[in-house]
Structure 1
Amino acid sequence: MHDIYGNLSGVKVFVAGNQWFVIEDLISKLGKVLVETLPPGVVMKQVMGEQVKIGNLVIDVKPDVVSLPPSMINQVSDLVKNKIDYVENEVVLATNVQLKDVCDLMGLKIALPNPENEGIGQIFREVYEETCGDYVSLRERSYVTKVHHRETPKLMREGMVDAGVVWKTEAIKWGFRSVGTGRKGKLSFALTKWSGKEAEEVMNFLLSEDSKKVYERYGFKWIA
């Protein structure tokens, strides 16, 4: 199953899904953990105690360590502790065609992340409204991802869309050319208030020099 890694009885580490390829490199060094790489809106709801259903599997446990955009961490500030911003990443438009800028989308098929459950979707909506104009009309003629913007590369490779909003690190990972928006997003680690000593050790490793090297290899800017 994609996006679920490790041992059910391990430390619960739930991270925003755009780090899945980093987690694949780090998982063997984290010890006994259960790691999720789901959309940040879903992870935030899990911190609040909501269940997640994937197929016939119901995940009804709460995380011990979380990674979310700072704005989402702040929304659950009464449930977390030891928040630290650790990476920065630029929102880009990955594309198979030549584009002048992010407004040069007339006549193209576009994949947009849903701003209701993804920070990247919120950021791009703000950029487009400030720079280009009417986001609503763009959304109406675009494909809005159903679960996560990681649907985008498959759509692009199959020719279903010409361009899609992703993080710079993902464009690098997937080998797409990209047009920058100039807008960056951050991620923060935090411990939940019910987490124990083992969770602290996992978070310490995630903030270590070894972890930093993996993040930087994929194009994340380390800011911790």
Structure 2
Amino acid sequence: MKTQPPILPEIPSTREDDLHNTENMNNADLTLFMAGNQFMVMEDLLKEFQKTYPEVKKIFYETLPPGLELRQILAGGARFKDMVIDVMPDIYTSVTEESMKELSAKGFISDYFIYLHNRIVLMIPEGNPCGIKTVTELGRSDIRISQPGALEDISYYIAAMYEKAGGGALVKRILEEKKEEGTTIFTVVHHRET
């Protein structure tokens, strides 16, 4: 019986700016799958890294949502436009420890460590025109929300924040009812779409 190849996740075609140095992809000295919101520090970080390790000349890195990168690792690659990216990272950064435990259980990694903790913050327009003072106010009909969709690990922590602030009713209001109303919008690559 012939086994089917795994279905590869799709990197959105508009995310070319999150795939860095693709010319080095298949012969990189270092391959990094970094959490998407780290895109703004990577150029400086890698310049400093290469000063310390000048032998590392060719670096390929992604700055995509960690959930997408996890699916890419587990599937053995991802599709982007007309190419397949089937390289494995030397370093993968995730939002959740659960992702690391899954990679460990499936034999992809032997060890991992926590190198930072993120905070969830609310970004509002300058001057706070809607007068938002608490998380519970995000349930209001006049407040539009843009946040990562359920496929992204960080969405778990956002839902937990809603739960802590207003219980299950606030979670339902923001994630279900406001989605139907069009006032909660779920992003695919949040760090670039918001």
Deviation at 1:152, TM superposition (A): 4.4
Equivalent AA in structure 2 for residue 121 of structure 1: S
Partner secondary structure for residue 111 of structure 2: strand
Q: Provide the aligned C-alpha RMSD in A.
A: 1.8
**Correspondences of 1:10-49 after superposition (within 5 Å):** 10=28, 11-28=30-47, 29-30=49-50, 31=56, 32-49=58-75
Q: TM-score, normalised by structure 2?
A: 0.70
Moved segments of 4+, more than 3 Å: none
Give the alignment partner of residue 2 of structure 1, picking from 8, 17, 20. Answer: 17
Partner secondary structure for residue 87 of structure 1: coil
Residue in 2 aligned with 1:114? 149
Give the alignment partner of residue 98 of structure 2, picking from 62, 71, 88. Answer: 71
For 1:57 and 1:135, locate their aligned partners in 2 and report how far apart those are by CA, in whole Å.
Answer: 39
For 1:25 and 1:101, locate their aligned partners in 2 and report how far apart those are by CA, in whole Å.
Answer: 36
**Correspondences of 1:47-86 after superposition (within 5 Å):** 47-68=73-94, 69-77=96-104, 78-86=107-115
More relative contact order in 1 or in 2 (CA 8 Å, sep 6+)? 1
Partner secondary structure for residue 172 of structure 2: helix
Deviation at 1:79, TM superposition (A): 1.3
Partner secondary structure for residue 80 of structure 1: coil
For 2:72 and 2:88, locate their aligned partners in 1 and report how far apart those are by CA, in whole Å.
Answer: 6
Is contact 2:136-2:170 (8 Å) kept? Answer: no
Residue in 1 aligned with 2:174? 138
Structure 1 residues 100 and 152, CA, compared in 2 at 3 Å: closer, same or farther?
Answer: farther
Is contact 2:32-2:92 (8 Å) kept? Answer: yes
Structure 1 residues 33 and 114, CA, compared in 2 at 3 Å: closer, same or farther?
Answer: same
Structure 1 residues 128 and 59, CA, compared in 2 at 3 Å: closer, same or farther?
Answer: same
Is contact 2:35-2:63 (8 Å) kept? Answer: yes
Aligned residues: 151
Give the alignment partner of residue 92 of structure 1, picking from 105, 108, 121. Answer: 121
Listed one character per residue, the Cα deviations across residues 43-66 of structure 1 (whole Å, up to 9, x for unaligned) are: 112222332122223212222221
Structure showing greater radius of gyration is 2
Unmatched runs of 5 consecutive residues or more in structure 2: 1-15, 51-55
Identity of aligned residues (%): 28
Partner secondary structure for residue 83 of structure 1: coil
Partner secondary structure for residue 86 of structure 1: coil
Equivalent AA in structure 2 for residue 39 of structure 1: P
Is contact 1:20-1:37 (8 Å) kept? Answer: yes
Unmatched runs of 5 consecutive residues or more in structure 1: 154-224
Residue in 2 aligned with 1:148? 189
Equivalent AA in structure 2 for residue 103 of structure 1: T
Greater per-residue strand proportion: 1
